[in-house]
Structures are given as C-alpha cells and as structure tokens.
Amino acid sequence: MSTPQVALEDYKYGFHYEDKSVFKTRKGLDEQVVRDISNAKKEPEWMLEYRLRALQAFNSKPMPSWGADLSDINFDEIYYYAKPTEEQARTWEDLPADIKETYDRLGIPEAEQKFLSGVGAQYDSEVVYHSIKEEVSRLGVLFLSPEQAIEQYPEIVKKYFGTIIPYNDNKFAALNTAVWSGGSFVYIPKGVRVDVPLQAYFRINSASFGQFERTLIIADEGSFVHYVEGCTAPVYTRDSLHSAVVEIIALEGARVRYSTIQNWSSDVYNLVTKRAVAHKNATVEWVDGNLGSKRTMKYPAVYLMGEGAHGEVLSIAFAGKGQEQDSGGKIVHAASNTTSTITSKSISKAGGTATYRGHIKVEEGVENVRSKVECDALLIDGESTTNTYPYMDIKSDDVAIEHEATVSKISDDQIFYLMSRGMSEDEAAGMIVNGFLDPLVKQLPMEYAVELNRLIELEMEGSVG
Amino acid sequence: MKIEIQDLQARIGDIEILKGVNLTLKSGEIHALMGPNGSGKSTLSNVIFGNETYEVTGGKILVDGEDILEMETHERARLGLFLAFQYPVEIPGVTVGRFLKRAAEIRFEGQKDRMKSFVKQLRANMDYMDINQQFINRYLNEGFSGGEKKRMEILQMLMLEPQFAILDETDSGLDIDALKIVAQGVNKLRTETEFGALVITHYQRILDHIKPDYVHIMYQGRIVTSGGGDLVSQLEEHGYDWVKKQHGIQEEEKNEHAASRT
C-alpha cells in the first residue's frame, strides 16, 4: 500500500485581515516595551513592578534544554503587543467589520447562541468582545478579561495571580508575566454550578506576533465550571509565538474542567504553562487537544493538595508535516487518598513528531495514592515519529500506579481489509484514525465530542472520500 | 457477473507463486478451489482483490469483459466482489455497526430505501448467523474468537450481497456447528440472490454443506484439474498424490518444491 494521505495540511483558518491595530509596541522586547504595555493598560504600579521582575527572570533564564526544537525562535523579530480596538465591544455588531467577520468565519457567535454560557474573544493582544449570559452572571459568576478584573476586583486578583505559576517558573512563564495581555478571569461562587461552558477564543491576526494571554480561574467550594478554549491564526511565512499562562484554583469540593483545542497555524510556536491546584475533594480535568502549531510544548498539571482530590489529563495530539507536538501532563500527589489519570493519544503523519511527556510525582509521607497513565501512539506512515517519556517520581510506598503505553502503525492489512469493503484508501485511513481516538472521544461531554469530531473531520477533509 | 482469469502469473518478492492460472467464474455458480498448502490458493484471492503485496507479472483478470488489474482494491469491491478473509484483521475503535453501515452505503449507493431497512436487516442477519446483537457495538474483530471472526465475515457478505464472493479458507478452524452456520449463510445468498462463490478449502467437510457446481484443484501455482462435485470424493479417497500422478507433475516438484512452499 502506498502512504495514505490523511491531510493535516489543509488548514481552514489561515486567512487574515489587514493589521489595523490602534496601538502596537515596536518590534523586540526590552524594559521600555514592557513599560509601554503597562502604560497602555493604565494598570496599577504593583503589576508593572511584577512585570519588570518577570522580564529579568526571562532574560536570565536559559532556553529549555529538552522538548521541542525551539532554536529558530528569534525574540527580536516579534511584536509583543498589538491593541486591535480602543474599546471592548458588548455586541458583535460593535466590532470593526474585519474582526466581526473573523469570528463569524470561525463560528463563534453561532456557538455562543447554541451552547455557551459566556464568550471572551481575544484578537491579537486584547479581548475585543466579552459576554456572559444574564442567568449565569446573576449567580455571581465573574467572567471578565484580567484587565477588567484588576480594575474591579483587585483583591481577588492580588490574592491568586502568579501564585500557582510564579513569574520565574520557567522561561516562557516569565515571558508571559512580563508582557501578558488579555485572557480570562473566572470566579465561580460557592456551590454554583455553571452547567453550560464558558468559552474563550484566541485569534492571532498580525504577522510575527506574540500572544500572551493570562487566564485565572477560581472555583470556590463545591462549585463547577467547564471552560473551553479555542485558538487559530493566519498562515504567514514568518513565525509567531503564543505563550500563555493558565492558573486554576479548585477549592474544596469544586470541579473544574478545562478544554482546549488549539488549532494554530503551522507557523506558531505554542509554548504554554498550564497548572491547577485541587484542594480537598476537588477535581480538575484538563482536556488538551493539540492539532495545530509548528512546535507545541504543553503539559497541563494538577497539584493535588488536599485529601480526596482527583486530577485528570486527556491529551490528544496530531503531528503533521513539519510539526512537533511535545505534550502530556503532570500530576503531583501532595496529599493522601488522591487519584489521577493521564490518557494520551497521539497521531503522527507525514514526518511529524508527537512526543508524550508525562510526570507523576508522589510526595513523601503521602498514603493511598492511585494513578493511571495510558499513552497510545498511532503512526500513519514510516517517516513519522513518536516518543514516550513517562517520568515517575514516587517517594511513598502506599501507591498503586499503572502505566500502559502502546505504539501502533496503520497496517497495510487493515487498509486492504477496509478497501476490500469498498472504502477508498484515504477513507480507510481516516476510519482507522477515528477508531484510534474513539475510546477517548467517548469520554468527552457530548457537545465537546461533537466539536472534536467536526475538527477531526476537517483535518481529514480531502482525504476522507 | 463473469470473472475470467487468464494465464495469471504473480509473485511475492522474487518468488513466483501463480504460474499461469486459468479459471472462469460466474454468478449463479459455486466453485470449490482445493489444493495443498502453498499451492497458491490464497495468493489467487489476494491478487483478484489487488493486494499490493503481490506483483502481477502476467495474464489478465476480466470482470464482465473489463480488465480489472489496474483498478484499486475498493474499485474492485464496488463492482460487487467480496472477499471473506482467511485472517480477518482487527480494527480497534470502529464498531461493527458503524463499519457495516458505511460499507453498505457504498455498496448500495443511490438506493435510499435500501439503507432505511439497514438496521432491521442487520439484526435479522445477525440472528441468522447466530451472532449476538451486542456485537453491533463491539469493535470490529477485536477480541473475537476465530469462529466469531469467520461468522462476522459471512454476516458482512449477507449484508453486502455481492455478485461474487471468494471465501478464503473460511472453514478452517471452525467446529461443525460454526461450519454449518457459515454454509447456511452462503446457501441463503445462493438461493435468494444472483450469487456466485469461489470456496477455497483444504477439506471436504464444508463442501458437504455447500455443494459446489465445480471443483478445481490447484497445485504449484496452476489449476491442474477441474471437474464436478464428484472430484471432491476422489480427492478425499486418493489424496493429492493421485492428482500429481494423474497429471504427471512429479518431476516439476523436485525443482520447485522449495519455492512454492511459502
């Protein structure tokens, strides 16, 4: 059999509009650029100081010596801040035509009506549109841009901002902290369940651009929220950088589900730090789909800080031509009677590299810990690569850990079998890929599974006859 | 449907397996193809379906007068050909129901009414093949026993109603009850539709239940003798040595024995 053409190259969101930023910092990064960003935001002095400290950390920290190949990133060639509009819009109609059209083409307003409690839409550096449904906001749920939160709820922001991921955590978290702009701030009051998801949508429009949004989610005791994030960008010939920081605090008995499908264009470096703490009996679930980007390094983490806490990571990666998806998850069991699972499914094709990198840590003196790690890789062809690095750091005896890893390749026999039933070679390959993902997709909530299936179909389009 | 195999030659790597096969098959006829291991029976079925592991080095396969050798496997299937595999592969994550629905959509493209009764028909055929209805939601062939896999092949055949099917050692490894069920499936299509089959087997057993109209014996990459149903009992009685003696092919064995036993 010749190589099945499961096309991941057919990127549907690669369009862009003219860069009409109302304010943009000059190319490159130094203290003045950071001051300009801070000044543009008219933010309090403490935040500027925090940014400057982070800038120092960024400058002094070396590039990661492991993971995806980042040697081509040129920090001097990037624009770190671009303000697309003067004001945040409350209705889609209030947005400039280009921007509204962008979101229409991405289907965001439609999704908002159909299955979301609230939407935040970020265009380059700023959140240009924000909404929350009346019935949700009436419950005391806060869903704002972080800039608005600093203005309106400074005490909550100060209490939690940078506590889960400190400014000097790693080079890219430091970069984000220095130049962050946009993102989401979510607060769910005690006992409130937001059954319909909140969604943030991140769009890069400018070329050679860096997007550095910052998300802070606080789920108070016994609350529930599902936060969904989507990302796309135009196709340019020069690289862009997306380096987000996401901090989640799940207080006692709370449950937070955070779902991402990043579908960045193939010239975006996607280097993101995502971390949650789960207190007593709290649950945090990351659903992390990496379909796009040139290089991704992202390992959503859950620190299980209280007894009975549960952490979960579901990771799905597609690595196509020229792509390197270095993803996985990290769980730290810092309390007794805690449980976790990491499930990873990756697909490599056309020379792409998918790497699972996981870390399970169990602290000393912690009892009755259970953890399950399962990573499955599917190779579409012989030129693609998959790696598995499952680190375990176990300092307690009272631990039950399961780890399973499989690598499979679409076999000629499978393709021949399906073709003998009338399916074209591409359709046969698509069916096998979907089958590979099926056990994982089944675990997703309905509306999300539908969304993922739609995206996978888009990815396979042109190959699925 | 008329399939004419003319002087077909094929090899795998450097090893010649089919050395000039001539065979004419038609809908409405049941042919049995017998022969010892390594004689080329499975190769023939794979080559008819365009398995790229095998290289065709000569000859023709005509379906209703049209040479199909340049066609891809799925295009051949869409002509109304079906292959029941000797070793059906597992397709993890793809349920029997979803797979069969898609296969049926392709087979009966443009016949909307046909798909309306798909589920009903599937359930009826599963009962007929003594397959538990829960298999609809199981992943195709994953964790199935040998017998279950073979019955699943015949279920697919019943659902897709091919004009001509090749059953590649569907009987091997089956107990007598499973064998009867498989035979029952073939006989159902045979009586209800314009259906023909080439039943590849080592054993007489299955031919007691599927009475062939023609029997062919393959040896060292050629059909060495053909006859009616009575050829089966002669073969059963005298063995392949008898066939060899009848056809004076003992000298050839010395030279090509090693090559053909692959």
Other Cβ atoms within 10 Å of A86 Cβ, number: 8
pLDDT given at position A382: 87
Asked if the Cβ–Cβ distance from A1 to B85 is below 8 Å, we say no
What does the alpha-carbon distance between residue A190 and residue A193 come to, in Å, rounded to a whole number? 9
Of B52, B94, B103, nearest to A422 by CB-CB distance is: B103
pLDDT given at position A395: 96
Asked if the Cβ–Cβ distance from A438 to B93 is below 8 Å, we say yes
Of A413, A419, A423, nearest to B102 by CB-CB distance is: A423
Q: How far A294 CA lies from chain B's nearest CA (Å)?
A: 29
pLDDT given at position B110: 86
Asked if the Cβ–Cβ distance from A421 to B89 is below 8 Å, we say no
pLDDT given at position A458: 54
Asked if the Cβ–Cβ distance from A435 to B103 is below 8 Å, we say no
**C-alpha distance from residue A159 to each of A50, A142, A185, A259, A283 (Å):** 14, 16, 13, 25, 21
A97-104 long-range contacts, Cβ below 8 Å, gap at least 24?
A98/A17, A98/A18, A98/A20, A99/A17, A99/A123, A99/A128, A101/A17, A102/A15, A102/A17, A102/A203, A102/A205, A103/A129, A103/A201, A103/A203
What does the alpha-carbon distance between residue B233 and residue B227 come to, in Å, rounded to a whole number? 11
Kindly state whether residue A401 falls inside one of the protein's structural domains: yes
Spell out, as residue ranges, where chain B has pLDDT lower than 70. 248-262
Kindly state whether residue A192 falls inside one of the protein's structural domains: yes
Contacts of B171 (CB under 8 A, 6+ apart): B150, B179, B182, B201, B203, B205, B206
Q: Work out how many domains chain A is built from and give that number.
A: 1
pLDDT given at position A365: 95
Q: How many CA atoms lie within 13 A of A400 on its CB side?
A: 5
What does the alpha-carbon distance between residue B62 and residue B73 come to, in Å, rounded to a whole number? 15
Q: Which residues of B touch A431 (CB under 8 A)?
A: 91, 94, 99, 102
Contacts of A451 (CB under 8 A, 6+ apart): A261
Q: What's the pTM value of the predicted model, to 2 decimals? A: 0.83
Q: How far B211 CA lies from chain A's nearest CA (Å)?
A: 26
Match 């792509």 to its residue by tokens. A323
Of B72, B93, B102, nearest to A419 by CB-CB distance is: B72
Kindly state whether residue A11 falls inside one of the protein's structural domains: no
* B89: nearest CA partner in chain A: A414
Please give the residue range of the domain that contains residue A188.
Answer: 23-412
What does the alpha-carbon distance between residue A311 and residue B4 come to, in Å, rounded to a whole number? 63
pLDDT given at position B261: 41
Q: How far A348 CA lies from chain B's nearest CA (Å)?
A: 17
Asked if the Cβ–Cβ distance from B52 to A412 is below 8 Å, we say yes
Kindly state whether residue A422 falls inside one of the protein's structural domains: no
Q: How far A295 CA lies from chain B's nearest CA (Å)?
A: 28
- Domain borders along chain B are 2-257
Of A414, A423, A434, nearest to B106 by CB-CB distance is: A423
Domain B2-257: assigned CATH number: 3.40.50.300
pLDDT given at position B162: 97
What does the alpha-carbon distance between residue A368 and residue A398 come to, in Å, rounded to a whole number? 5
Q: Which residues of B touch A (CB under 8 A)?
A: 49, 51-53, 72-74, 77-78, 82-83, 85, 88-89, 91-94, 99, 102-103, 106-107, 139, 156, 160
Asked if the Cβ–Cβ distance from B52 to A417 is below 8 Å, we say no
Q: At what angle do helices A171-179 and A31-41 cross, to 10 degrees?
A: 50
Asked if the Cβ–Cβ distance from A421 to B91 is below 8 Å, we say no
Kindly state whether residue A7 falls inside one of the protein's structural domains: no
What are the average pLDDT values for consecutive 10-residue runs of chain A, which has 465 residues? 43 85 93 97 96 98 93 94 91 91 87 85 91 92 96 96 97 98 97 92 92 97 94 86 97 96 90 98 95 94 98 94 95 98 94 96 97 95 93 95 93 95 92 87 65 58 34
What does the alpha-carbon distance between residue A450 and residue A289 come to, in Å, rounded to a whole number? 14
Kindly state whether residue A12 falls inside one of the protein's structural domains: no
Burial class (CB in 10 A: 0-12, 13-18, 19+), A271: buried
Sheet order of strands, B2-12 included: B15-26, B2-12, B55-63, B66-67
pLDDT given at position A453: 63
* Secondary structure string (H, E, C) spanning B29-53: CEEEEECCCCCCHHHHHHHHCCCCC
DSSP-derived letter for residue B260 is H
Q: Which residues of A touch B (CB under 8 A)?
A: 1-2, 411-414, 416-425, 428, 431-432, 434-439
% chain B with pLDDT above 90: 78
Q: How far B237 CA lies from chain A's nearest CA (Å)?
A: 36
